[in-house]
Structure 1
Amino acid sequence: MSTHTSTVAEAIRSAKRERAGALVGYLPVGFPTLDASVDAAIAMARNGADVIELGVPYSDPVMDGLVIQEATHTALEAGFRLAHVFEAVRRVREAVEVPILVMTYWNPVLQYGVERFAQELAAAGGAGLITPDITPDAAAEWIEVSERVGLDRVFLAAPSSSDDRLRLVAEATTGFVYTVSTMGITGERAQLDAAARGLTARLRAQGADLACVGIGISTAEQVAAALEYADGAIVGTVFVRALRDGGVEQLAATVREIAAGTARP
């Protein structure tokens, strides 16, 4: 277990005290431009997101649905570099208090250097990393570095995970466990998987403190449904689409609309 104070966990607990739970909002860095992605993240924080998840554009996004793939492709085509992540985090944090997690596949972190990445993220004011494609048993270096630097490490749990694997995830994670509602890629689902509810219960039985459910949540109603059993709801695709189609203004309106789902019933 970690000894550092998690600003992410604090933000989620605060949201649970005041409302039904937290809204975690995802956007990729550099889409449609670096400046616009900074403005978008600030707008997200000001319109109801409790935690911001900034995605690192990657050339082989195995977990992402089409809307997010196209956005990250646009960012890469426009010349995205890893240094932009730290710049974006710094600029957003200068404007708002909301904690920022960076969602990244592991390869870019490895290429950059785990220690160097962690130090620069912490210096920029980032809260930690969500790492979809690395498991705690393969993350010894990251666990050691994040512990020392004081960053959160958010691992994923899926319905297919064994209880032993869920215990490992619950023990290694700080901030919250990212609870994957379906076994597919990110995107919208008309009906949230009942698997998410069962998985959250299994995680709690294995000692997970906070669990946020993601993949397939795109409406205020789905947020409210997720918060009946989870501590937070993670929303991405619908925000990326709003930003793509109507800029920061439409994104802000969409965040407000979906954040209404965090109100106490």
Structure 2
Amino acid sequence: MTHSAITERFTKIKEEGGGKKAFIPYIMAGEPSVSETVDIVMELEAMGADIVELGVPFSDPVADGPTIQRAAMSALSRGVTLRKVIDMVKTIRQKSLIPIVLMTYFNPVLKFGLGNFVEAALSNGVDGIIIPDLPPDEEVDFTASCHKGGPDTIFLLAPTSTDKRIGLVSRQSRGFIYYVSLTGITGSAIAIDDSLKARIEKIRTISKKPVAVGFGVKTKDEAAAVAAIADGVIVGSAIVKAIGQGQETFRTLVKSLRAAI
């Protein structure tokens, strides 16, 4: 099996050692504009991001908090669709090979057409896909077709996940496993404590895949604490908010997060 760009990135980080972990910033595609999204990805790469998660705007983002919901509504008002987000990735690919993961809900993918999506993702340089409302035991044909040459399927685990669910997610995930640090929405407060460490250790007894932690990481101190126990740190709401506050705020936050992870 050929290794994906995401797997290769995690392998490279591990080989480099020195305590560095994967820094995975999330931004909303099309916010504040389509062209600026491409520029922001380039900036994130220049500041040391390892993988970029591109949010696909959706009208009912059940896993997202107010910051990302507002960004999604703003992008939707500009006519940003899954097709346009895939086109953005194609544009980015003319300038960069940074691994890109799309975070979308299942409805836009279904509307796009499952086979069409896998083909478009593959031909335009999408490396991975996260679908929060698609469990790993549903739409198994779609997941299998992704495994045959489409984007890496990245599934989610939560504090409530059973050993059986951890095993299933590990088998169906490619690239990395996304551990949701809390039973809430994006942007909620994270508790970095012994229970978080214990959950990650539990996942590692069942799976050899890298574990990246998201939901709730806002500050460099939180990022450093999560990086100490996980393979990657995903930061979304704080970065989306900083983009809205201007370039200086955005750059300061991203640089501090990169240094901490």
Kindly indicate whether structure 1 or structure 2 has the higher relative contact order, using CA contacts under 8 Å at least 6 residues apart: 1
Letter paired with 2:13: A
For 2:60 and 2:214, how far apart are their aligned partners in 1?
20
1:93-135 Cα shifts (integer Å, max 9, x gaps) = 2222210010111111111111111111111111020111111
1:28 aligns with 2:28: yes
Match of 1:13 in 2: 11
Deviates more, 1:114-123 or 1:219-228: 219-228
Match of 1:164 in 2: 164
Match of 1:260 in 2: 259
Letter paired with 1:173: S
TM superposition shift of 1:6: 1.7
For 1:84 and 1:198, how far apart are their aligned partners in 2?
40
Q: Does the residue aligned with 1:36 lie in a helix, a strand or coil?
A: helix
TM superposition shift of 1:188: 4.9
TM-score of the pair, normalised by structure 1 = 0.93
Aligned Cα root-mean-square deviation (Å): 1.5
For 1:59 and 1:194, how far apart are their aligned partners in 2?
36
Q: Does the residue aligned with 2:61 lie in a helix, a strand or coil?
A: coil
Q: Which runs of 5+ in 1 are unaligned?
A: none
For 1:73 and 1:188, how far apart are their aligned partners in 2?
19
Matched-pair contact (CA < 8 Å) for 2:106–2:133: yes
Letter paired with 1:234: I
Against the structure 1 CA distance between its residues 216 and 192, is the aligned structure 2 distance closer, same or farther, given a 3 Å change threshold?
Answer: farther
TM superposition shift of 1:201: 1.4
Match of 1:145 in 2: 145
Q: Which runs of 5+ in 2 are unaligned?
A: none
For 1:53 and 1:92, how far apart are their aligned partners in 2?
13
For 1:60 and 1:208, how far apart are their aligned partners in 2?
34
TM superposition shift of 1:199: 2.0
Letter paired with 2:93: R
Against the structure 1 CA distance between its residues 120 and 228, is the aligned structure 2 distance closer, same or farther, given a 3 Å change threshold?
Answer: same
Deviates more, 1:7-16 or 1:115-124: 7-16
TM superposition shift of 1:190: 6.1
Letter paired with 2:101: L
For 1:91 and 1:188, how far apart are their aligned partners in 2?
33
Q: Percent identity?
A: 36
Match of 1:134 in 2: 134
TM-score of the pair, normalised by structure 2 = 0.94
Please give the residue correspondences for 1:205-244 in structure 2 after superposition, counting only pairs within 5 Å. 205-244=205-244
Matched-pair contact (CA < 8 Å) for 1:104–1:131: yes
For 1:83 and 1:38, how far apart are their aligned partners in 2?
15
Against the structure 1 CA distance between its residues 260 and 112, is the aligned structure 2 distance closer, same or farther, given a 3 Å change threshold?
Answer: same
Match of 2:197 in 1: 197
TM superposition shift of 1:253: 3.0
Q: Does the residue aligned with 1:178 lie in a helix, a strand or coil?
A: strand
Letter paired with 2:2: H
Match of 1:251 in 2: 250
Matched-pair contact (CA < 8 Å) for 2:132–2:156: yes
Letter paired with 2:46: R
Q: Does the residue aligned with 2:119 lie in a helix, a strand or coil?
A: helix
For 1:150 and 1:79, how far apart are their aligned partners in 2?
26
TM superposition shift of 1:193: 5.5
For 2:85 and 2:223, how far apart are their aligned partners in 1?
28
TM superposition shift of 1:189: 2.2
Q: Does the residue aligned with 1:175 lie in a helix, a strand or coil?
A: coil
User: Number of paired residues?
Assistant: 259
Please give the residue correspondences for 1:95-110 in structure 2 after superposition, counting only pairs within 5 Å. 95-110=95-110
For 1:196 and 1:180, how far apart are their aligned partners in 2?
10
TM superposition shift of 1:20: 2.2
